[in-house]
Structure 1
Amino acid sequence: MIEEIEKWIHRVNSSHREVRRSCSVLEEHFNGFYSPEFLKTAFFVVTDEIPKPDFLGLREAGLGGFIDMDVDGITYNDTYYVKKEAANELRLHFHELVHVLQWRELAPQGFIERYIREIQDFGYDNAPLEKMAYALDGHYQSKGRHLSIEQFVQESL
């Protein structure tokens, strides 16, 4: 199933390649948190509908609630998708960029396996990868001190 998900993600990202934008457009907002080099290699797509894999195997694994959950953003490897009405929310971009870093550190297969396991074991709200992203976007939102999110994620995984 992991291989099927990876193929699906590759197809989704490839089909949106022409409309994705470099996160370097967010550089002035995230200065002191994300490096310009990282932001140049991360991308986002503004969309009406968030793409999600809906495989029977995922539902059988108990992930139907996650698949059906209404979200404003989701990350697949180096690209994240945000709903049009949430596209200007910097906190959402910050959160999804944490996930881009997690994907990089864990590699696609590792991220997918861990994310699924965490959702199964802890539920979405208590999944450690999500808790990390929410804690960091909360730090940003509260105008916390600058810190390298890249280094933090690397040291925390």
Structure 2
Amino acid sequence: MLHKIEKWIDQTNVEYKQQRICCAKFFSEFEGFYPLAFLEQAYFVVVDEIPKPDFPELRQMGFGSFMDMQAGGITYKNTYYVLRHNVSSLRLHFHELVHVAQWAHLGAQDFILRYMDEIQTFGYHESPLEKMAYALDANFSEGGAKIDIPSYVVRNI
């Protein structure tokens, strides 16, 4: 199943490649949190509908509510997708970039496996990868201390 999901992710990222926008555009807003070199390797795509791999096997495994959840964004490797009406939300971009750092540190197969396991074990809002992203985006939006996010992810996963 992991290979099928990763193949779908790769196909999706290729399909939207021409629409990607480089996250280096956020350098001034995220300075002290994300190094420029990291942002230059991360992208986002503005969409009207969040792409998800809606495979029957995932629903059979109990991911139906996750697949049907109305998300403002979703990250696949170094590219994340945001709904058009959320594109101006810096907090959402910050949050999804935490996931880009998690993907980069864990690698695709390990990220997918861990994310799925956490969703099944804890639920979406209590999954450690999501809790990390929400805590860090809250710190950013509340004007908290600047933390090098990619380094933080490596130290805390």
Normalised by the length of structure 1, the TM-score is 0.99
Distance (Å, rounded) in 1 between the aligned partners of 2:138 and 2:48: 25
Deviations 1:53-80 (A, max 9, x none): 1011111111000000001100000000
DSSP-derived class of the 2:125 partner: helix
Distance (Å, rounded) in 1 between the aligned partners of 2:20 and 2:71: 19
DSSP-derived class of the 1:62 partner: helix
Distance (Å, rounded) in 1 between the aligned partners of 2:150 and 2:116: 23
Unaligned runs of 5+ in 1: none
Could you list the runs of 4 or more consecutive aligned residues of structure 1 that deviate by over 6 angstroms after TM superposition? none
Query: Could you tell me how far 1:147 is from its partner in structure 2?
Result: 1.2
Which residue number corresponds to residue 85 of structure 1? Answer: 85
Distance (Å, rounded) in 2 between the aligned partners of 1:125 and 1:95: 13
RMSD, aligned α-carbons: 0.4
Deviations 1:100-155 (A, max 9, x none): 00001110000000000000000001000000000000000100011111110010
The answer to whether residue 114 in structure 2 is matched with residue 114 in structure 1 is yes
Distance (Å, rounded) in 2 between the aligned partners of 1:131 and 1:21: 26
Distance (Å, rounded) in 2 between the aligned partners of 1:104 and 1:151: 11
Distance (Å, rounded) in 2 between the aligned partners of 1:147 and 1:110: 24
Which residue number corresponds to residue 30 of structure 1? Answer: 30
Distance (Å, rounded) in 1 between the aligned partners of 2:61 and 2:114: 13
Which residue number corresponds to residue 9 of structure 2? Answer: 9
Deviations 1:3-34 (A, max 9, x none): 00000000000000001010001111000100
Superposition map of 1:40-55 within 5 A: 40-55=40-55
Which residue number corresponds to residue 123 of structure 1? Answer: 123
DSSP-derived class of the 1:124 partner: coil
Distance (Å, rounded) in 2 between the aligned partners of 1:130 and 1:63: 16
Normalised by the length of structure 2, the TM-score is 0.99
Distance (Å, rounded) in 1 between the aligned partners of 2:116 and 2:92: 21
Distance (Å, rounded) in 1 between the aligned partners of 2:99 and 2:150: 11
Unaligned runs of 5+ in 2: none
Q: Which residue identity does 2:41 align to in structure 1?
A: T
The answer to whether residue 137 in structure 2 is matched with residue 137 in structure 1 is yes
Q: Which residue identity does 2:83 align to in structure 1?
A: K
